Structure 1
Protein backbone atom coordinates (compact mmCIF):
# COMPACT_ATOMS: atom_id res chain seq x y z
CA UNK A 1 0.00 0.00 0.00
CA UNK A 2 2.83 2.42 0.83
CA UNK A 3 4.39 1.73 -2.57
CA UNK A 4 1.08 2.56 -4.28
CA UNK A 5 0.79 5.83 -2.36
CA UNK A 6 4.37 6.84 -3.21
CA UNK A 7 3.86 6.13 -6.91
CA UNK A 8 0.58 8.04 -6.99
CA UNK A 9 2.24 11.00 -5.24
CA UNK A 10 5.12 10.96 -7.73
CA UNK A 11 2.80 10.74 -10.71
CA UNK A 12 0.50 13.53 -9.52
CA UNK A 13 3.40 15.86 -8.69
CA UNK A 14 5.14 15.12 -11.94
CA UNK A 15 1.97 15.54 -14.02
CA UNK A 16 1.16 18.92 -12.50
CA UNK A 17 4.75 20.11 -12.88
CA UNK A 18 5.32 19.04 -16.46
CA UNK A 19 1.80 19.52 -17.89
CA UNK A 20 2.67 16.98 -20.60
CA UNK A 21 0.45 14.98 -22.90
CA UNK A 22 -0.06 11.28 -21.89
CA UNK A 23 3.14 9.28 -22.43
CA UNK A 24 3.22 5.76 -23.86
CA UNK A 25 5.39 3.67 -21.55
CA UNK A 26 7.69 0.86 -22.66
CA UNK A 27 7.20 -2.60 -21.17
CA UNK A 28 9.86 -4.59 -19.33
CA UNK A 29 9.37 -8.31 -18.70
CA UNK A 30 10.70 -10.22 -15.66
CA UNK A 31 10.22 -13.50 -13.81
CA UNK A 32 11.26 -15.23 -10.59
CA UNK A 33 13.95 -17.38 -12.18
CA UNK A 34 16.34 -14.74 -13.49
CA UNK A 35 17.49 -11.23 -12.68
CA UNK A 36 16.68 -8.54 -15.24
CA UNK A 37 19.30 -5.77 -15.05
CA UNK A 38 18.47 -2.13 -15.84
CA UNK A 39 21.45 0.18 -16.46
CA UNK A 40 20.71 3.92 -16.16
CA UNK A 41 22.70 6.95 -17.40
CA UNK A 42 22.98 8.32 -13.83
CA UNK A 43 23.13 6.63 -10.40
CA UNK A 44 19.78 5.45 -9.04
CA UNK A 45 18.43 7.50 -6.17
CA UNK A 46 15.03 5.83 -5.83
CA UNK A 47 13.19 2.91 -7.41
CA UNK A 48 9.58 1.88 -6.68
CA UNK A 49 7.29 -0.83 -8.06
CA UNK A 50 3.52 -0.58 -7.85
CA UNK A 51 2.85 -4.17 -6.86
CA UNK A 52 4.36 -6.59 -4.34
CA UNK A 53 4.81 -9.31 -6.97
CA UNK A 54 7.52 -7.12 -8.57
CA UNK A 55 10.77 -6.40 -6.72
CA UNK A 56 13.34 -3.81 -7.86
CA UNK A 57 16.59 -3.87 -5.90
CA UNK A 58 19.46 -1.37 -6.06
CA UNK A 59 22.27 -0.27 -3.78
CA UNK A 60 20.81 2.26 -1.35
CA UNK A 61 24.10 2.92 0.42
CA UNK A 62 26.52 3.32 -2.47
CA UNK A 63 25.39 5.00 -5.66
CA UNK A 64 25.26 2.61 -8.60
CA UNK A 65 23.99 2.84 -12.15
CA UNK A 66 22.05 -0.44 -12.26
CA UNK A 67 19.19 -2.16 -10.50
CA UNK A 68 17.74 -5.68 -10.65
CA UNK A 69 14.11 -6.54 -11.37
CA UNK A 70 12.32 -9.79 -10.49
CA UNK A 71 8.64 -10.76 -10.76
CA UNK A 72 6.19 -13.37 -9.56
CA UNK A 73 3.11 -14.42 -11.55
CA UNK A 74 0.36 -11.81 -11.27
CA UNK A 75 -1.13 -8.73 -12.85
CA UNK A 76 1.06 -6.17 -14.60
CA UNK A 77 2.29 -3.15 -12.65
CA UNK A 78 4.66 -0.25 -13.13
CA UNK A 79 8.22 0.73 -12.18
CA UNK A 80 9.27 4.26 -11.35
CA UNK A 81 12.98 5.13 -11.14
CA UNK A 82 14.51 8.49 -10.22
CA UNK A 83 18.17 9.13 -11.02
CA UNK A 84 20.56 11.19 -8.94
CA UNK A 85 20.08 14.20 -11.24
CA UNK A 86 16.27 14.05 -10.87
CA UNK A 87 15.56 12.39 -14.23
CA UNK A 88 12.40 10.28 -14.05
CA UNK A 89 11.99 6.93 -15.84
CA UNK A 90 8.71 5.01 -15.88
CA UNK A 91 7.89 1.56 -17.30
CA UNK A 92 5.11 -1.00 -17.41
CA UNK A 93 6.37 -4.26 -15.88
CA UNK A 94 4.90 -7.68 -16.66
CA UNK A 95 5.58 -11.25 -15.62
CA UNK A 96 6.78 -13.55 -18.41
CA UNK A 97 7.85 -17.15 -18.00
CA UNK A 98 10.35 -17.08 -20.87
CA UNK A 99 12.56 -13.97 -21.15
CA UNK A 100 14.23 -12.85 -24.35
CA UNK A 101 15.99 -9.83 -22.81
CA UNK A 102 17.91 -9.84 -19.54
CA UNK A 103 19.75 -6.51 -19.79
CA UNK A 104 18.31 -3.08 -20.55
CA UNK A 105 20.62 -0.13 -21.18
CA UNK A 106 18.50 2.95 -20.60
CA UNK A 107 19.46 6.09 -22.61
CA UNK A 108 18.92 9.62 -21.29
CA UNK A 109 16.35 10.15 -24.02
CA UNK A 110 14.07 7.59 -22.34
CA UNK A 111 13.47 9.92 -19.40
CA UNK A 112 9.88 11.16 -19.23
CA UNK A 113 10.97 14.34 -17.46
CA UNK A 114 12.54 15.66 -14.28
CA UNK A 115 11.08 15.48 -10.79
CA UNK A 116 11.94 19.15 -10.27
CA UNK A 117 10.20 21.30 -12.88
CA UNK A 118 12.46 23.67 -14.79
CA UNK A 119 11.36 27.19 -13.93
CA UNK A 120 10.64 29.55 -16.87
CA UNK A 121 13.49 31.79 -15.73
CA UNK A 122 15.84 28.83 -15.76
CA UNK A 123 14.70 27.90 -19.24
CA UNK A 124 15.31 31.45 -20.43
CA UNK A 125 18.70 31.37 -18.75
CA UNK A 126 19.58 28.13 -20.55
CA UNK A 127 18.47 29.65 -23.87
CA UNK A 128 20.60 32.71 -23.18
CA UNK A 129 23.60 30.50 -22.42
CA UNK A 130 23.10 28.61 -25.68
CA UNK A 131 22.79 31.84 -27.63
CA UNK A 132 25.91 33.24 -25.96
CA UNK A 133 27.78 30.02 -26.70
CA UNK A 134 26.78 30.25 -30.37
CA UNK A 135 27.98 33.86 -30.53
CA UNK A 136 31.32 33.03 -28.95
CA UNK A 137 31.76 30.15 -31.40
CA UNK A 138 31.04 32.51 -34.29
CA UNK A 139 33.41 35.17 -32.94
CA UNK A 140 36.22 32.61 -32.68
CA UNK A 141 35.67 31.34 -36.22
CA UNK A 142 35.46 34.82 -37.74
CA UNK A 143 38.48 36.08 -35.78
CA UNK A 144 40.51 33.09 -36.97
CA UNK A 145 39.44 33.88 -40.52
CA UNK A 146 40.48 37.54 -40.18
CA UNK A 147 43.93 36.63 -38.85
CA UNK A 148 44.47 34.37 -41.86
CA UNK A 149 43.63 37.18 -44.29
CA UNK A 150 46.26 39.52 -45.67
CA UNK A 151 43.93 42.52 -45.78
CA UNK A 152 45.39 45.74 -44.36
CA UNK A 153 44.25 49.32 -43.88
CA UNK A 154 46.52 52.36 -44.08
CA UNK A 155 49.50 52.53 -41.77
CA UNK A 156 48.42 53.04 -38.14
CA UNK A 157 51.42 52.49 -35.88
CA UNK A 158 53.03 53.77 -32.70
CA UNK A 159 56.55 52.95 -31.43
CA UNK A 160 58.22 53.27 -28.06
CA UNK A 161 61.53 51.72 -27.01
CA UNK A 162 61.32 48.72 -29.32
CA UNK A 163 57.59 48.12 -28.83
CA UNK A 164 55.42 48.64 -31.93
CA UNK A 165 51.63 48.82 -31.60
CA UNK A 166 49.54 48.82 -34.78
CA UNK A 167 46.02 48.30 -36.03
CA UNK A 168 46.13 46.15 -39.15
CA UNK A 169 42.46 46.12 -39.99
CA UNK A 170 39.00 47.22 -38.86
CA UNK A 171 36.20 45.03 -40.14
CA UNK A 172 32.44 45.39 -39.78
CA UNK A 173 30.41 42.18 -39.59
CA UNK A 174 26.78 41.86 -38.53
CA UNK A 175 26.55 44.22 -35.53
CA UNK A 176 30.19 44.26 -34.46
CA UNK A 177 33.50 45.92 -35.30
CA UNK A 178 36.59 43.71 -35.33
CA UNK A 179 39.89 45.44 -34.55
CA UNK A 180 42.84 43.38 -35.81
CA UNK A 181 45.76 44.46 -33.60
CA UNK A 182 49.47 43.66 -33.74
CA UNK A 183 52.09 44.04 -31.00
CA UNK A 184 55.76 43.69 -31.92
CA UNK A 185 58.50 43.42 -29.34
CA UNK A 186 61.78 44.34 -31.04
CA UNK A 187 63.53 44.91 -27.73
CA UNK A 188 65.67 42.55 -25.68
CA UNK A 189 63.20 42.44 -22.79
CA UNK A 190 59.88 40.62 -22.53
CA UNK A 191 56.83 42.89 -22.49
CA UNK A 192 54.26 42.06 -19.81
CA UNK A 193 50.82 43.53 -20.52
CA UNK A 194 49.06 45.46 -17.82
CA UNK A 195 46.14 46.36 -20.09
CA UNK A 196 45.15 47.07 -23.66
CA UNK A 197 42.19 49.45 -23.85
CA UNK A 198 40.24 51.19 -26.57
CA UNK A 199 38.68 54.57 -25.88
CA UNK A 200 36.95 57.37 -27.76
CA UNK A 201 38.29 60.88 -27.14
CA UNK A 202 36.29 64.07 -27.59
CA UNK A 203 38.02 67.43 -27.85
CA UNK A 204 36.39 69.91 -25.51
CA UNK A 205 36.06 73.39 -26.99
CA UNK A 206 36.59 76.59 -25.05
CA UNK A 207 39.41 78.54 -23.48
CA UNK A 208 40.52 75.56 -21.42
CA UNK A 209 40.94 72.79 -23.96
CA UNK A 210 40.72 69.27 -22.59
CA UNK A 211 39.95 65.74 -23.66
CA UNK A 212 37.02 63.64 -22.52
CA UNK A 213 37.75 59.92 -22.79
CA UNK A 214 35.13 57.16 -22.86
CA UNK A 215 36.43 53.60 -22.79
CA UNK A 216 34.77 51.00 -25.05
CA UNK A 217 34.55 47.56 -23.47
CA UNK A 218 35.13 44.66 -25.92
CA UNK A 219 32.48 41.97 -25.98
CA UNK A 220 35.10 39.42 -27.05
CA UNK A 221 38.91 39.23 -27.01
CA UNK A 222 40.73 36.80 -29.26
CA UNK A 223 44.31 35.67 -28.53
CA UNK A 224 45.10 38.49 -26.12
CA UNK A 225 48.50 37.58 -24.61
CA UNK A 226 49.73 38.28 -21.10
CA UNK A 227 53.33 38.61 -22.33
CA UNK A 228 55.02 39.41 -25.62
CA UNK A 229 58.46 37.83 -25.53
CA UNK A 230 61.55 39.55 -26.90
CA UNK A 231 61.67 39.53 -30.73
CA UNK A 232 58.11 38.17 -30.80
CA UNK A 233 55.13 39.47 -32.78
CA UNK A 234 51.57 38.70 -31.70
CA UNK A 235 48.29 39.40 -33.46
CA UNK A 236 44.97 39.59 -31.68
CA UNK A 237 41.44 40.85 -32.17
CA UNK A 238 39.07 43.00 -30.12
CA UNK A 239 35.37 42.67 -30.94
CA UNK A 240 33.18 45.65 -30.03
CA UNK A 241 29.58 46.62 -30.68
CA UNK A 242 29.41 48.73 -33.84
CA UNK A 243 29.84 52.46 -33.23
CA UNK A 244 30.68 55.57 -35.23
CA UNK A 245 32.30 58.86 -34.25
CA UNK A 246 32.12 62.46 -35.49
CA UNK A 247 35.09 64.28 -37.03
CA UNK A 248 35.88 66.04 -33.75
CA UNK A 249 36.43 62.70 -32.04
CA UNK A 250 38.97 59.90 -32.42
CA UNK A 251 39.65 56.43 -31.10
CA UNK A 252 42.68 55.73 -28.95
CA UNK A 253 44.22 52.31 -28.45
CA UNK A 254 46.23 52.36 -25.22
CA UNK A 255 48.84 49.72 -24.38
CA UNK A 256 50.24 49.71 -20.86
CA UNK A 257 53.20 47.71 -19.53
CA UNK A 258 53.02 45.94 -16.20
CA UNK A 259 55.78 47.18 -13.88
CA UNK A 260 57.28 49.15 -16.76
CA UNK A 261 57.20 52.46 -18.59
CA UNK A 262 56.93 51.37 -22.22
CA UNK A 263 53.35 52.51 -22.69
CA UNK A 264 51.84 53.51 -26.03
CA UNK A 265 48.77 55.44 -27.16
CA UNK A 266 47.77 54.86 -30.77
CA UNK A 267 45.38 57.47 -32.19
CA UNK A 268 42.88 56.32 -34.81
CA UNK A 269 41.04 58.81 -37.02
CA UNK A 270 37.26 58.79 -37.25
CA UNK A 271 37.67 57.93 -40.95
CA UNK A 272 38.86 54.40 -40.14
CA UNK A 273 36.12 53.81 -37.58
CA UNK A 274 33.31 55.05 -39.82
CA UNK A 275 34.57 53.27 -42.96
CA UNK A 276 35.59 49.77 -41.89
CA UNK A 277 36.29 46.95 -44.32
Structure 2
Protein backbone atom coordinates (compact mmCIF):
# COMPACT_ATOMS: atom_id res chain seq x y z
CA UNK A 1 0.00 0.00 0.00
CA UNK A 2 2.83 2.39 0.88
CA UNK A 3 4.48 1.64 -2.50
CA UNK A 4 1.27 2.47 -4.38
CA UNK A 5 0.92 5.69 -2.36
CA UNK A 6 4.47 6.77 -3.22
CA UNK A 7 3.88 6.00 -6.91
CA UNK A 8 0.68 8.07 -6.87
CA UNK A 9 2.46 11.01 -5.16
CA UNK A 10 5.22 10.79 -7.76
CA UNK A 11 2.67 10.88 -10.58
CA UNK A 12 0.87 13.88 -9.11
CA UNK A 13 4.18 15.72 -8.69
CA UNK A 14 5.01 15.10 -12.33
CA UNK A 15 1.52 16.21 -13.33
CA UNK A 16 1.74 19.48 -11.37
CA UNK A 17 5.12 20.28 -12.88
CA UNK A 18 3.79 19.56 -16.37
CA UNK A 19 0.83 21.88 -15.82
CA UNK A 20 3.18 24.80 -15.34
CA UNK A 21 4.74 24.11 -18.72
CA UNK A 22 1.84 22.78 -20.80
CA UNK A 23 -1.67 23.89 -21.65
CA UNK A 24 -3.77 20.76 -21.21
CA UNK A 25 -6.27 19.67 -23.85
CA UNK A 26 -9.89 19.14 -22.84
CA UNK A 27 -11.85 15.94 -23.44
CA UNK A 28 -15.65 16.03 -23.19
CA UNK A 29 -17.84 13.13 -22.06
CA UNK A 30 -21.38 12.43 -20.83
CA UNK A 31 -23.43 9.65 -19.23
CA UNK A 32 -25.16 8.35 -22.36
CA UNK A 33 -22.18 7.56 -24.63
CA UNK A 34 -18.73 6.02 -24.32
CA UNK A 35 -15.83 8.25 -25.34
CA UNK A 36 -12.93 6.06 -26.50
CA UNK A 37 -9.30 7.08 -25.98
CA UNK A 38 -6.67 5.18 -27.99
CA UNK A 39 -3.08 5.44 -26.71
CA UNK A 40 0.24 4.61 -28.44
CA UNK A 41 1.03 1.99 -25.76
CA UNK A 42 -1.21 -0.23 -23.58
CA UNK A 43 -2.73 1.45 -20.53
CA UNK A 44 -1.26 0.43 -17.17
CA UNK A 45 -3.08 2.92 -14.95
CA UNK A 46 -5.83 5.54 -15.31
CA UNK A 47 -6.94 8.02 -12.64
CA UNK A 48 -9.68 10.66 -12.62
CA UNK A 49 -9.76 13.46 -10.08
CA UNK A 50 -13.51 13.38 -9.40
CA UNK A 51 -16.15 10.68 -8.85
CA UNK A 52 -18.42 12.10 -11.54
CA UNK A 53 -15.90 10.92 -14.15
CA UNK A 54 -15.23 7.22 -14.77
CA UNK A 55 -12.33 5.97 -16.89
CA UNK A 56 -12.56 2.22 -17.49
CA UNK A 57 -9.86 0.04 -19.02
CA UNK A 58 -8.80 -3.60 -18.93
CA UNK A 59 -6.82 -4.11 -15.73
CA UNK A 60 -6.21 -7.82 -16.34
CA UNK A 61 -4.95 -7.64 -19.92
CA UNK A 62 -3.33 -4.38 -20.96
CA UNK A 63 -5.01 -2.81 -24.01
CA UNK A 64 -4.48 0.35 -26.06
CA UNK A 65 -7.85 1.97 -25.32
CA UNK A 66 -10.01 3.09 -22.40
CA UNK A 67 -13.57 4.41 -22.12
CA UNK A 68 -14.54 7.68 -20.46
CA UNK A 69 -17.98 8.58 -19.10
CA UNK A 70 -19.13 11.58 -17.07
CA UNK A 71 -22.02 12.80 -14.96
CA UNK A 72 -22.99 16.49 -14.66
CA UNK A 73 -20.64 18.35 -12.34
CA UNK A 74 -17.46 20.39 -12.14
CA UNK A 75 -14.56 19.75 -14.50
CA UNK A 76 -11.76 17.46 -13.37
CA UNK A 77 -8.62 15.87 -14.76
CA UNK A 78 -7.60 12.50 -16.21
CA UNK A 79 -4.14 11.04 -15.70
CA UNK A 80 -3.12 7.97 -17.75
CA UNK A 81 0.12 5.99 -17.54
CA UNK A 82 1.11 3.71 -20.42
CA UNK A 83 3.03 0.46 -20.10
CA UNK A 84 6.27 2.21 -21.09
CA UNK A 85 5.84 4.83 -18.33
CA UNK A 86 4.63 7.64 -20.61
CA UNK A 87 2.22 9.99 -18.79
CA UNK A 88 -0.77 11.70 -20.40
CA UNK A 89 -2.87 14.36 -18.71
CA UNK A 90 -6.13 16.00 -19.80
CA UNK A 91 -8.85 18.25 -18.47
CA UNK A 92 -12.20 16.40 -18.56
CA UNK A 93 -15.59 18.11 -18.68
CA UNK A 94 -19.21 17.04 -18.87
CA UNK A 95 -21.04 17.96 -22.08
CA UNK A 96 -24.60 16.93 -22.88
CA UNK A 97 -24.10 16.83 -26.66
CA UNK A 98 -20.82 15.37 -27.91
CA UNK A 99 -19.29 16.14 -31.30
CA UNK A 100 -16.37 13.73 -30.88
CA UNK A 101 -16.45 10.16 -29.56
CA UNK A 102 -12.97 8.87 -30.45
CA UNK A 103 -9.57 10.32 -29.52
CA UNK A 104 -6.37 8.90 -31.00
CA UNK A 105 -3.60 10.06 -28.69
CA UNK A 106 -0.14 10.47 -30.31
CA UNK A 107 3.03 9.84 -28.34
CA UNK A 108 3.89 13.53 -28.71
CA UNK A 109 1.04 14.37 -26.30
CA UNK A 110 2.87 12.74 -23.40
CA UNK A 111 3.79 15.23 -20.66
CA UNK A 112 6.71 13.09 -19.49
CA UNK A 113 7.72 9.72 -18.13
CA UNK A 114 7.28 8.37 -14.61
CA UNK A 115 10.85 7.07 -14.69
CA UNK A 116 13.74 9.41 -15.55
CA UNK A 117 15.59 8.40 -18.68
CA UNK A 118 19.10 7.42 -17.62
CA UNK A 119 21.88 6.92 -20.10
CA UNK A 120 23.26 3.41 -19.59
CA UNK A 121 26.44 1.84 -20.88
CA UNK A 122 24.25 -0.66 -22.70
CA UNK A 123 21.88 1.17 -25.01
CA UNK A 124 18.84 -0.62 -26.35
CA UNK A 125 17.46 1.03 -29.46
CA UNK A 126 14.03 0.04 -30.74
CA UNK A 127 12.69 0.70 -34.20
CA UNK A 128 9.84 2.76 -32.75
CA UNK A 129 12.26 5.23 -31.17
CA UNK A 130 14.00 5.72 -34.49
CA UNK A 131 10.92 6.96 -36.31
CA UNK A 132 9.18 10.25 -35.84
CA UNK A 133 6.03 10.55 -33.77
CA UNK A 134 3.82 11.20 -36.78
CA UNK A 135 4.85 7.96 -38.48
CA UNK A 136 4.32 6.14 -35.19
CA UNK A 137 0.80 7.53 -35.06
CA UNK A 138 0.16 6.37 -38.63
CA UNK A 139 1.32 2.87 -37.68
CA UNK A 140 -1.04 2.63 -34.70
CA UNK A 141 -4.05 4.14 -36.48
CA UNK A 142 -3.57 1.94 -39.57
CA UNK A 143 -3.38 -1.16 -37.35
CA UNK A 144 -6.57 -0.03 -35.65
CA UNK A 145 -8.34 0.37 -39.02
CA UNK A 146 -7.24 -3.09 -40.18
CA UNK A 147 -8.77 -4.59 -37.04
CA UNK A 148 -12.13 -2.90 -37.64
CA UNK A 149 -14.89 -4.54 -39.63
CA UNK A 150 -16.10 -1.39 -41.39
CA UNK A 151 -16.83 -0.84 -45.08
CA UNK A 152 -17.70 2.35 -46.92
CA UNK A 153 -19.34 0.64 -49.92
CA UNK A 154 -18.79 -1.80 -52.75
CA UNK A 155 -15.66 -0.57 -54.53
CA UNK A 156 -14.26 -3.64 -56.26
CA UNK A 157 -12.91 -4.86 -59.61
CA UNK A 158 -11.74 -8.29 -60.87
CA UNK A 159 -9.25 -9.29 -63.54
CA UNK A 160 -8.12 -12.88 -64.28
CA UNK A 161 -8.56 -14.06 -60.69
CA UNK A 162 -7.15 -10.90 -59.10
CA UNK A 163 -9.60 -8.85 -57.02
CA UNK A 164 -8.83 -5.25 -56.05
CA UNK A 165 -11.10 -3.84 -53.35
CA UNK A 166 -11.21 -0.55 -51.42
CA UNK A 167 -12.84 -1.57 -48.14
CA UNK A 168 -12.88 1.77 -46.39
CA UNK A 169 -11.98 5.44 -46.70
CA UNK A 170 -11.48 7.15 -43.33
CA UNK A 171 -10.76 10.79 -42.55
CA UNK A 172 -8.62 11.60 -39.50
CA UNK A 173 -6.90 14.89 -38.68
CA UNK A 174 -5.57 16.06 -42.07
CA UNK A 175 -5.32 12.71 -43.84
CA UNK A 176 -7.44 10.19 -45.75
CA UNK A 177 -6.83 6.52 -44.97
CA UNK A 178 -7.58 4.02 -47.76
CA UNK A 179 -8.02 0.46 -46.47
CA UNK A 180 -7.25 -1.75 -49.48
CA UNK A 181 -7.58 -5.48 -50.11
CA UNK A 182 -6.03 -7.57 -52.89
CA UNK A 183 -7.17 -11.17 -53.34
CA UNK A 184 -5.35 -13.65 -55.56
CA UNK A 185 -7.78 -16.37 -56.68
CA UNK A 186 -5.56 -17.43 -59.57
CA UNK A 187 -3.07 -20.31 -59.72
CA UNK A 188 -0.06 -17.99 -60.09
CA UNK A 189 1.63 -15.70 -57.58
CA UNK A 190 1.08 -12.00 -58.18
CA UNK A 191 4.22 -9.83 -58.09
CA UNK A 192 3.28 -6.23 -57.40
CA UNK A 193 4.98 -3.63 -59.60
CA UNK A 194 3.11 -0.59 -58.25
CA UNK A 195 -0.21 0.54 -56.82
CA UNK A 196 -0.86 4.20 -57.58
CA UNK A 197 -3.67 6.56 -56.68
CA UNK A 198 -4.42 9.34 -59.15
CA UNK A 199 -7.07 12.01 -59.63
CA UNK A 200 -8.68 11.95 -63.06
CA UNK A 201 -10.42 14.99 -64.55
CA UNK A 202 -12.78 14.91 -67.52
CA UNK A 203 -11.92 17.78 -69.85
CA UNK A 204 -15.04 19.48 -71.28
CA UNK A 205 -15.42 20.65 -74.83
CA UNK A 206 -15.74 19.20 -78.31
CA UNK A 207 -12.65 17.06 -77.87
CA UNK A 208 -13.21 15.27 -74.59
CA UNK A 209 -10.09 14.01 -72.87
CA UNK A 210 -8.89 12.79 -69.48
CA UNK A 211 -6.16 14.35 -67.39
CA UNK A 212 -4.62 12.28 -64.59
CA UNK A 213 -2.62 13.62 -61.63
CA UNK A 214 -0.67 11.18 -59.43
CA UNK A 215 -1.10 11.50 -55.62
CA UNK A 216 1.92 10.63 -53.48
CA UNK A 217 1.05 8.66 -50.31
CA UNK A 218 2.35 10.01 -47.01
CA UNK A 219 2.66 6.52 -45.57
CA UNK A 220 2.07 2.91 -46.71
CA UNK A 221 1.16 0.33 -44.08
CA UNK A 222 1.89 -3.35 -44.87
CA UNK A 223 2.09 -2.85 -48.64
CA UNK A 224 3.12 -6.29 -50.03
CA UNK A 225 5.52 -7.02 -52.85
CA UNK A 226 3.89 -10.38 -53.65
CA UNK A 227 0.47 -11.97 -53.18
CA UNK A 228 0.78 -15.75 -53.23
CA UNK A 229 -1.77 -17.84 -55.10
CA UNK A 230 -4.95 -18.33 -53.12
CA UNK A 231 -4.00 -15.63 -50.59
CA UNK A 232 -5.48 -12.27 -49.61
CA UNK A 233 -3.67 -9.21 -48.22
CA UNK A 234 -4.96 -6.03 -46.59
CA UNK A 235 -3.03 -2.79 -46.17
CA UNK A 236 -3.50 0.97 -45.82
CA UNK A 237 -2.50 4.01 -47.89
CA UNK A 238 -2.35 7.34 -46.02
CA UNK A 239 -2.96 10.31 -48.31
CA UNK A 240 -3.13 14.08 -47.73
CA UNK A 241 -6.75 15.19 -47.38
CA UNK A 242 -8.42 16.13 -50.67
CA UNK A 243 -11.94 16.47 -52.10
CA UNK A 244 -13.33 16.01 -55.59
CA UNK A 245 -15.86 17.85 -57.73
CA UNK A 246 -18.49 15.99 -59.77
CA UNK A 247 -16.31 15.88 -62.89
CA UNK A 248 -13.37 14.30 -61.07
CA UNK A 249 -12.74 10.83 -59.64
CA UNK A 250 -9.94 8.89 -57.99
CA UNK A 251 -8.29 6.03 -59.86
CA UNK A 252 -6.51 3.19 -58.05
CA UNK A 253 -4.17 1.48 -60.52
CA UNK A 254 -2.73 -1.97 -59.75
CA UNK A 255 0.14 -3.04 -61.99
CA UNK A 256 1.76 -6.49 -62.16
CA UNK A 257 5.51 -6.87 -62.49
CA UNK A 258 6.39 -8.81 -65.67
CA UNK A 259 2.72 -9.55 -66.25
CA UNK A 260 -0.50 -8.22 -67.74
CA UNK A 261 -3.00 -8.65 -64.90
CA UNK A 262 -3.43 -4.92 -64.41
CA UNK A 263 -6.49 -3.30 -62.85
CA UNK A 264 -7.81 0.28 -62.81
CA UNK A 265 -10.44 0.83 -60.14
CA UNK A 266 -12.63 3.95 -60.24
CA UNK A 267 -13.46 5.56 -56.89
CA UNK A 268 -16.36 7.99 -57.09
CA UNK A 269 -16.12 11.49 -55.64
CA UNK A 270 -18.94 10.48 -53.26
CA UNK A 271 -16.66 8.16 -51.30
CA UNK A 272 -13.84 10.71 -51.15
CA UNK A 273 -16.05 13.58 -50.02
CA UNK A 274 -18.00 11.47 -47.49
CA UNK A 275 -15.43 9.24 -45.76
CA UNK A 276 -16.00 7.38 -42.52
Report the number of matched residues: 153
Q: 1:132 to 1:244 in 2, by over 3 A?
A: farther
C-alpha distance in 1 between matches for 2:210 and 2:203: 6
The alignment partner of 2:132 has SS state of helix
Deviations 1:113-168 (A, max 9, x none): xxxxxxxxxxxxxxxxx896101110000000000000011100010000000100
State the Cα RMSD in Å.
2.0
Counterpart secondary structure, 1:183: strand
1:139 aligns with 2:138: yes
Provide the C-alpha distance between the structure 1 equivalents of 2:269 and 2:210, rounded to a whole number of angstroms. Answer: 15
Measured in 1, the distance between the counterparts of 2:187 and 2:209 equals 37
Moved over 6 A (4+): none
Structure with larger Rg? 1
Match of 1:100 in 2: none
2 CA distance for matches of 1:208 and 1:171? 36
Gaps of 5+ in 1: 1-106, 110-129
Which string of whole-angstrom CA distances, capped at 9 and with x for unpartnered residues, describes residues 197-244 of structure 1? Answer: 000000001111110000100000000000000000000000011000
Q: Matched residues in 2 for 1:257 and 1:244: separation?
A: 29
Matches within 5 A, 1:80-229: 108=119, 133-229=132-228
Q: Distance in 2 between matches of 1:154 and 1:181?
A: 12
The reply to whether residue 258 of structure 1 matches residue 257 of structure 2 is yes
Looking at structure 1, the residues matched to 208 and 119 of structure 2 have their Cα atoms a distance apart, in angstroms, of 67
Unaligned residue ranges in structure 2 (runs of 5+): 1-117, 121-128
How is 1:62-81 mapped onto 2 (pairs within 5 angstroms)?
Answer: none
The aligned residue for residue 87 of structure 1 is none
Compute the TM-score of the two structures, normalised by the length of structure 1. 0.53
TM-score normalized with structure 2 length:
0.53
Distance 1:145 1:190 in 2: 28
State the Cα distance separating 1:254 from its structure 2 match. Answer: 0.2
TM-aligned CA distance change 1:131 to 1:161, over 3 Å = same
2-structure distance, mates of 1:133, 1:153: 30
CA–CA separation in structure 1 for the residues paired with 2:144 and 2:230? 25
The equivalent residue for 1:269 is: 268
